Structure 1
Amino acid sequence: MIENNFVPGARIGNRGEDFLITDVIENYDGSKIISAEGLSELVKGMSFKFDSRIDTDIEVLDPVKTRIVPDEDYAYRRTKLFLETQLRNNTTYSKKITIAHKAAFDISHYQFDPTNKAFRLPRPRMLMADGVGLGKTIEVGIFLAEMIKRGKGKRIMVLALKSILGQFQQEIWNRFAIPLVSLDSQGIAQIKSELPANKNPFEYYDKTIISIDTLKNNAKFRHYIEKSRWDIIVIDEAHTVANSSSQRGSLAQFLATRCESLILTSATPHNGKKENFANLINMIEPTAIPRNGEYGKEDIEPYYMRRFKHHILDEKVRSNFQDREIIPIHAVLSQPEEDLLQIQQKIKFEALSTLNENTEEDMFGEGTRREKRDLLFSIGLFKAYMSSPNAALATVRNRIEKIKDAGAETNTAEDNLNLLGDLRDKIEKLIETGADSKYQAFKERLIQLGWNGRKNDDRIVVFAERIHTIKYIKENIQRDFKVNDEAIREFHGGLSDAEQQEYIEDFGKKDSDIKIFITSDAGSQGVNLHYYCNIMFNYDIPWSLITLEQRNGRIDRYGQTKTPYIYYLLGTSETEGLKTDLHIIENLTKKEEEVHKTLGDVGSVMNLYDSNAEEKRTEKAIAEQNEKFLEDEFDLDVLFGGESDVTDSKIEEDPIEEEYSLYKNDSDYYRDLIDQLKSEQLMQSNDATFVDDTYLEIKNTKELHRVLFDLPKTAKPGLNDIYRLSLDKDKVQKSIEEARKKKGEWSKFQMLYDLHPVMKYLMTKLEASVDKDVALAARISRLPEKSAWFIVHGQVANNIGQSVISDFFVIPVNFEGGLLKKPMPLKDFIAEYQIDKELATQHISEEILHQLEGLLPDVIDFANEMHMHQLQQVRQLEMERHIAVYEENLKHWTKTAKDQLQADLDEKGESNYWKGKLREREREIDTIISDTSQFYKDLKSLDQDPYLKVISVFYN
């Protein structure tokens, strides 16, 4: 057993079967825990872990003992295929995009930037914070694809809002062929029926997607994740976990320690407070920000990407956004509405007048003054009515019931039963007589649009804040337009995860019966509502620019094919005070549109970066009758001293690096691969068929069905049905669009590329067809006479088990012995001697094979001494230069952390409570220092012996 050669990529034999090492962890006593994928028939496609203390007979191929076998295939097809497959299955070390550009999306270089930037870090971790509608899901897919190509994406967990689990899962599969098993309520129920009760689903399934709320609320799942580790964790809409003291936040902080790579996505990554931003960055890199919280943009810029639409200059990208049209609909308040809101205004002004006379305290400051309670009640009543009469009626009725139950009537307006009763009666009469001006305006606009809720009518999204408003709109539309239940859908946070996903998917399908989708702001984040829909109504206006932008971004986003029409329903009045309040609400819509056309970041207007805080600011403006509050001078020094939080919009001028190949195109390679597997009877003749040069059909055989057990059920064809794979991006993207026409359907086509699980399975099958101790020989007349050119694959892993060097090179030797010339890159050898061109198969005698095998000891010595050891030294120096920067940062962070701890100790450390708190912080700091130091030490360690494998030999 050559224990030092247990490295990722090495092929081993154990218990009579063959395996490929995928990961290696060293125990305290020097023994190894080896993760491996099965290669031979009995174990193919399965994952295993071996402990070298128990499995003492694990054998790693000794390259000197390689058997050289002649390739007798026409044009040496087997040798070329085996070599090409090794190259394609090999991990890459490029800092650029090498595979994701082949996935099913329109290439936009800005979407490659987060991944390219992440590859500049010791650990690829990144906050993807591009603005609403720029395609963060695509950016995540690019990162996942590239990490899988680098051998660092086997185990993936995605956490997303429950409403978009299905949408995210489909997008990543349809475009990138990356399978995520959904652990929503239905998925969990299915798993319970398939797995033993004590089986950890996160160990059984390598790639999963789950709601963070499901994870935090399920004690058993929490137990499972404590026993699991992942290569990559993705947290979508990460602003929901930014509060480290919340349940979601503490869970996210824990998960950040359970993975090598972490991706956070959010269009609103902070609330204007540096601490909030720091919480997200600390999950990505704990030592990026000093413990005293004093940091600048330069400290965190390496760890996040943030751009808005106007930063993207590519005309092709801009063509995927349509210029939206904003249409305000002004509804003049009816007399009953004026009468009702005059009472509301009277309560407000009386409260304001008394507050102004009796106190200098801010009207929204601390205190329980009656006037303040009346002020807040009047504004709450105004906001409820601006949603709908039903929402206002529910507010008043609930208040009346609460006072009666508590027997707590007081002299405040909100506790005055006579006043509340009068308000209730007025609202009830208003509803009964149909005096709701806003609904009438809404109804008239639907009629003008020719909308009746029939089959061919436009599809419409309606946003409203209150559940009572959603139900009110639905009831009125059903009454006035005679619309059935199938044509109208309510959507809100009270629905189950399965219902939310079902409704979102249904609305995005062409054959959907839903003609009007009435949603609360639960439908404003991350959800795609732009398929087959370009009309949206803001039935009420949220008092937050951030929420308003999120709403509008549901139909005004990348990929919208029609002009988005966004309607605002706005009340108007000439009554003093009320007129100003309504103008303030309308000004929110004008400011959002102004920012959309210029800045791009609505959060920068109020510099609060939090929807709840923005609502409070709007409440204050209404209380103060400040119509110009959106034009005030806000503090621009909230985060970075007036500097924007936007990052550079371009990381690489040329972000894509094409890998070299022995084939002129992918089609030729895949065709040869299929033909070879058939000729070796590793596939039946009808298991795979090329319909044309770009389209491959592959039967889902029993073996394939078993090996690919963890594909999404909806995406997987039935037994003996077919996978449809195409090299034509347009065909696949059209298939994705076609799938949107019918409920429950996923794209019938996926991309034919190396990352598709079916192709990975076939490539592994080809690789396993050549015994682990065999190198194929080919005789080539165009080589120098009496020369042999050994193609060798060399790998070196660091102490984390990551393959840090993986290189294909050629050792040229004389038949009589001795080096012919210095080792050369495989790429140069192929180009110089045209190995990728047509080759003529020639007979190889046994005598020549023995002679070639006799050269192996010298070849391996030359490979080690003249290539791999030199490569190790160069890479070691290169890594040490990079790591030195991070180690210096760690030293600085350690000093500031200890200094801050001492300062806190001096200030607060007298009580036992604070002493305990500070001891806890000290342990946390020591853990970060220890883990980070060990990580850097293991990362840069290249003292392992190289693993060498002779792939093939070309000679003349």
Structure 2
Amino acid sequence: MSTAAPVANSAPNVAPGSVVRVRDEDWLVTGTEATASGTLIQVRGLTELVRGTEAAFYSDLDRIEVVDPRNAKIIADDTPRYRKTRLFLETTLRKTPEPATSAALTVSTGMLAEQLNYQRIAVAKALDPTNIRPRILIADAVGLGKTLEIGMILSELVARGRGDNILIVTPRHVLEQMQHEMWCRFALPFVRLDSQGIQRIRQQIPATRNPFTYFKRAIISIDTLKTPRYREHLKRRRWDAVVIDESHNLTNTGTLNNELARILAPRTDALILASATPHNGKNESFAELIRLLDPTAVSPDGEINEEAARKLIVRRHRYSPEVASEVGTDWAERAEPLNLLVDASPAENAVAQDLADTWLYSKTTSPSSNHLFGWTLAKAFLSSPAALRETIESRLQRIDVSGDQSASADREVSALRRLLILAEEADESVSAKFEALVDHLKDKGVGRGSDTRAVVFAERIATLKFLQETLPKSLGLPAGAIGLLHGGLSDVEQQEIVEDFKRGTSELRVLVTGDVASEGVNLHAECHLLVHYDIPWSLIRIEQRNGRIDRYGQRHTPEIATLLLQPDSEKFSGDIRVLTRLVEKEHEAHKILPDVASIMGKNSIKAEEDAIAKMLAEGRDIEETIPEPVGDFFDELLAGLDGDEDSSNLSDVVVTSNGRQLFDSDLEFLSQALGEAFGDPYEKVDWVVDDEHDVASLTPPADLRRRLTFLPQDYLKERRVADSLRLATSPATGKRSLLSARQSDETNWPAAHFLGPLHPVLDWASDRALASMAQNEVLAIRGDVESPEFLLLGTITNQRGQLLNRTFMTVSDGFAHPIRDIGEYLESIGLTSRAANPGPVDTADLGSLVGPAIDAAEGHLGMMYDGLANQSASLLADWLKRAEEWNAEAAGLVQRREVQDRRERVRVEQELARQMAPAQSIIRPLLVVVPREGTGGAA
């Protein structure tokens, strides 16, 4: 005898808070998600056999029967101060996403970050409801806090039910820094997939399992994603949001970085790109960056739609009016740069003279067929004799491997060997520049018994190793006081060194680093001294280096020094003085320009380096090579965004608490929710509140521990969170806990994590409290109303299950009335944190009113649905029209492969755009309010 398979229903009309019947049991819906296998319903069991059990069902695989709210039973709330009613409404508010049509900021302003309006403006622009999807390039200059803006945007997306699945792609040396900021400041947990993290998950999940389906929120480096295995995993995953930091590295078509970006862009709803240098001077590269955000914003032949692009970019700098008026003393003005001219030693002068006579200014031809190779040697020498030795030896090896035995090759080898002997002598003698570095660091207080720290940049690994080996003895410090960071280290090693230097109690006093640390690393909390041991031949690189300590949050004057070797060779020495103008130019531009890239008009580090080398080889003055800024379309587009011309419309960003006035704080709500779920939370979960120190703690039960497994693994391990979860219950305590961790010998993770509005423990407590109350029941209370009044919630979702709009409404005497502000309404009926319960309600005659109340509410919601559908259709029509125009223009260019690829991308985007239209509406009765006098019978 065979058993018929259950008949699935592909689109059940449910939302968090709904009650459904699956497999003959009742379940409370705690979340929904649209997937390739139908709607995923996340639930908690209500009936006896499954009570408290967490589960998930796919609508294509199981019959999901929605329990009709018309059959809801009216139950009088007899709890003191209407605790049960307040808990139910509060959990409903917390579990119901903010509307996608809302531009108001709700949760990001309650996180552990400074409240800066210029950052709110960036968030509001990203969430602009007139855009079909959240897409933005955060092009703020170095130091303004792009990471915080990213965290704020992501937290608002989570509050809108559009942030369940998030991928962050960032340079590998800042993986932990980004993970730390997201968790500690925004309560957004991400699994860090560095080399150790990948090894760990291989032990947790099968080798064939896609890790991105197992970990809904992951942070990973672009280097890891380049492996074929991970590229294939990406193609089988859709995301709610993708963040790509340092996105200027994505723009060169044909590279793996660009291929990965093209894979991710059409597979995510929200896309956030971040870069302080968003264009590299090539029109097609900048167009590619815009195309990732919106393929129709760039025509098939590469022309950017300026109006469309402006909606996608936010860009400010240190002295933009909206920034300068806010940063105040939290961003100390940098001091004038200090250029330290150092007379070369005799051995160094011998090297410089040979370079000048043989390679740079020879009256005959250069020994090398590459006439700029002499400047490669000179640049290495200006870093250190050790770097010059390394460069010469590498060149000799390449010539040997090539087998070139020509006369020209013999001549170059002879010249290189002669120079190598001089470089070895200089390397083995006392370095004048090194002695100047030691004197400068000592003068600034770096040494034994001092907490003063400095970061020293150099381009060559040989130079860095030389500094690491020789600085300890010269400064009177132990070897462990000098940290070495360069790109040749593993991702874990890089992260450990950066985090160690940032920890206040670390013994590290000097970080010697290559330019791997010039992007993304925040070093300002414990350091305000920076030394350029050599000069990058790029204004962009100088600005990036300086930005590690010269950024928002720096409360000490940033002091930046540059060491300049000055040989006796007049011409060589003159060229070095010319190079000092790079440092001066960067400082001049720092105060007036969004970034220094526009000065040379090259907008890429390599292009600037090549231009400087060519200038030196041709003997031209630097003022000829670095003229006044010249604007092309891209410069003008970005310059027009400086200060964000749209900010006048966003200057008063709406901030709302979501109407949550039912409890005085997140802590009180959590305490009451635990009381509802466990009866005696102290006995069941060791719940303790220390009001004097603003700290609370509990022992996580099994279901909470399962949720916590997706928190940062280092945090779980180092703070033993599975044994005891400590919470900071005020922002001040949260900040102190963060500061204390930074000054700890053991860990950077705070002992007490701030209880912000998105903390996972609040979501867990909401689910537990709801499950203990919800049985398709509607609570009845007394309030300041004239006749029995139903409070109902109507929601409208799109085809992807995302909430587009919601409305609270009341129904009395058969008529529905929309509520403008749920907080004001609850206060008007007397349901606040200070409410009193005057006595039970007679519910005998109220049950018959539920159905008519829902019918009346559906009529009102239907009108709203039609209005939202028209609004959505109008919004989509504009974008779809542009897409059709793009397709028409591309029709004549389809023979070009790149146009074919982009055409397919536009087709995918069109289909996704159509899914944003309203698809279904749901009405849920939340509460019955009867007059304070009388029994509350039928009206």
Taking structure 1 as the reference length, the TM-score comes to 0.89
Partner of 2:134: 124
Partner of 1:91: 97
Deviation at residue 856 of structure 1 after TM alignment: 1.6
- AA partner of residue 238 (structure 2): R
CA contact (8 A) 1:377 1:414 kept: no
Give the Cα separation in 2 of the matches to 1:822 and 1:426.
Answer: 89
SS at match of 1:101: helix
CA contact (8 A) 1:156 1:233 kept: yes
Match of 1:636 among 631, 635, 642: 631
Deviation at residue 277 of structure 1 after TM alignment: 1.4
Partner of 2:913: 936
* Per-residue deviation, residues 168-202 of structure 1 (Å, max 9, x unmatched): 10111110111001111111111112223333221
Match of 1:657 among 650, 655, 658: 655
- AA partner of residue 87 (structure 2): L
SS at match of 1:639: helix
Alignment of 1:856-875 (within 5 A): 856-865=850-859, 867-875=860-868
SS at match of 1:158: strand
Alignment of 1:559-638 (within 5 A): 559-573=553-567, 575-627=569-621, 628-632=623-627, 635-637=630-632
SS at match of 2:45: coil
- Please say if 1:265 is aligned against 2:274: yes
Alignment of 1:16-415 (within 5 A): 16-20=25-29, 22-23=31-32, 25=34, 33-40=38-45, 48-52=56-60, 54-56=61-63, 58-93=64-99, 94-120=102-128, 121-217=131-227, 219-311=228-320, 312-325=322-335, 326-348=337-359, 373=369, 375-412=371-408, 415=411
RMSD: 2.7
* Per-residue deviation, residues 10-49 of structure 1 (Å, max 9, x unmatched): 442212251426446498xxxx812122222759685634
SS at match of 1:39: strand
Alignment of 1:552-563 (within 5 A): 552-563=546-557
- AA partner of residue 848 (structure 2): G
Give the Cα separation in 2 of the matches to 1:280 and 1:631.
Answer: 26
SS at match of 1:933: helix
Give the Cα separation in 1 of the matches to 2:632 and 2:250.
Answer: 24
CA contact (8 A) 2:110 2:757 kept: no
Deviation at residue 76 of structure 1 after TM alignment: 1.5
CA contact (8 A) 1:156 1:230 kept: yes
Structure 1 residues 824 and 256, CA, compared in 2 at 3 Å: closer, same or farther?
A: closer
Give the Cα separation in 1 of the matches to 2:52 and 2:603.
Answer: 51
- Please say if 1:794 is aligned against 2:794: yes
CA contact (8 A) 1:663 1:669 kept: no
Give the Cα separation in 1 of the matches to 2:373 and 2:817.
Answer: 85
Give the Cα separation in 2 of the matches to 1:465 and 1:420.
Answer: 21
SS at match of 1:422: helix
Give the Cα separation in 1 of the matches to 2:247 and 2:578.
Answer: 31
Partner of 1:666: 665
* Per-residue deviation, residues 548-592 of structure 1 (Å, max 9, x unmatched): 111111111111222222110012245332132112211111101
Match of 2:747 among 739, 744, 755: 744
Structure 1 residues 675 and 802, CA, compared in 2 at 3 Å: closer, same or farther?
A: closer
Structure 1 residues 544 and 831, CA, compared in 2 at 3 Å: closer, same or farther?
A: same
Give the Cα separation in 2 of the matches to 1:114 and 1:49.
Answer: 38
CA contact (8 A) 2:792 2:927 kept: yes
Deviation at residue 459 of structure 1 after TM alignment: 1.6
CA contact (8 A) 1:796 1:804 kept: yes
Give the Cα separation in 1 of the matches to 2:653 and 2:115.
Answer: 11
Deviation at residue 885 of structure 1 after TM alignment: 2.2
Structure 1 residues 8 and 384, CA, compared in 2 at 3 Å: closer, same or farther?
A: same
- AA partner of residue 347 (structure 1): T
Deviation at residue 638 of structure 1 after TM alignment: 5.5
Deviation at residue 829 of structure 1 after TM alignment: 3.6
Partner of 1:421: 417
* Per-residue deviation, residues 850-880 of structure 1 (Å, max 9, x unmatched): 4111112211111111x11111122222223
Deviation at residue 741 of structure 1 after TM alignment: 1.2
Deviation at residue 347 of structure 1 after TM alignment: 3.0
SS at match of 2:311: helix
Structure 1 residues 12 and 339, CA, compared in 2 at 3 Å: closer, same or farther?
A: same
CA contact (8 A) 2:186 2:756 kept: no
Give the Cα separation in 1 of the matches to 2:413 and 2:671.
Answer: 84
* Per-residue deviation, residues 394-441 of structure 1 (Å, max 9, x unmatched): 22233334444545354548843332222122222223332x321222
- Please say if 1:950 is aligned against 2:925: yes
Give the Cα separation in 1 of the matches to 2:635 and 2:386.
Answer: 44
Deviation at residue 668 of structure 1 after TM alignment: 7.3
Give the Cα separation in 1 of the matches to 2:134 and 2:902.
Answer: 22
Structure 1 residues 49 and 284, CA, compared in 2 at 3 Å: closer, same or farther?
A: farther
Give the Cα separation in 1 of the matches to 2:10 and 2:29.
Answer: 15
- Work out the number of aligned pairs and report it: 903
* Per-residue deviation, residues 499-518 of structure 1 (Å, max 9, x unmatched): 01111111111121212211
CA contact (8 A) 1:413 1:419 kept: no
CA contact (8 A) 2:190 2:219 kept: yes
SS at match of 2:676: helix
Give the Cα separation in 1 of the matches to 2:636 and 2:138.
Answer: 22
Match of 2:469 among 475, 497, 501: 475
Give the Cα separation in 2 of the matches to 1:797 and 1:66.
Answer: 23
Give the Cα separation in 2 of the matches to 1:596 and 1:879.
Answer: 43
- AA partner of residue 83 (structure 1): L
Taking structure 2 as the reference length, the TM-score comes to 0.91
Partner of 1:880: 873
Give the Cα separation in 2 of the matches to 1:455 and 1:126.
Answer: 47
Structure 1 residues 640 and 593, CA, compared in 2 at 3 Å: closer, same or farther?
A: closer
- Structure 1 unaligned blocks of 5 or more: 356-369, 902-914
- Please say if 1:522 is aligned against 2:522: no
Between 1:501-510 and 1:730-739, the stretch displaced more is 730-739
- AA partner of residue 726 (structure 1): A
Give the Cα separation in 2 of the matches to 1:457 and 1:863.
Answer: 66
- AA partner of residue 874 (structure 1): G
Match of 1:13 among 14, 21, 25: 21
Structure 1 residues 922 and 330, CA, compared in 2 at 3 Å: closer, same or farther?
A: closer
Give the Cα separation in 2 of the matches to 1:414 and 1:148.
Answer: 66
Alignment of 1:761-910 (within 5 A): 761-780=764-783, 782-784=784-786, 787-813=787-813, 818-819=814-815, 822=817, 824-825=819-820, 826-827=822-823, 829-836=825-832, 838-844=834-840, 848-865=842-859, 867-901=860-894
- AA partner of residue 793 (structure 1): L
Give the Cα separation in 2 of the matches to 1:623 and 1:240.
Answer: 29
Among all aligned residue pairs of Structure 1 and Structure 2, give the percentage whose two residues are the same amino acid. 30
SS at match of 1:605: helix
- AA partner of residue 379 (structure 2): K
Partner of 2:937: none
Deviation at residue 153 of structure 1 after TM alignment: 0.4
- Structure 2 unaligned blocks of 5 or more: 1-7, 932-939
- AA partner of residue 159 (structure 1): V
* Per-residue deviation, residues 713-751 of structure 1 (Å, max 9, x unmatched): 222343664333334222212211111112433012332
* Per-residue deviation, residues 129-175 of structure 1 (Å, max 9, x unmatched): 11111111101100110000000101111111110101110111110
Structure 1 residues 428 and 679, CA, compared in 2 at 3 Å: closer, same or farther?
A: closer
Deviation at residue 78 of structure 1 after TM alignment: 0.7
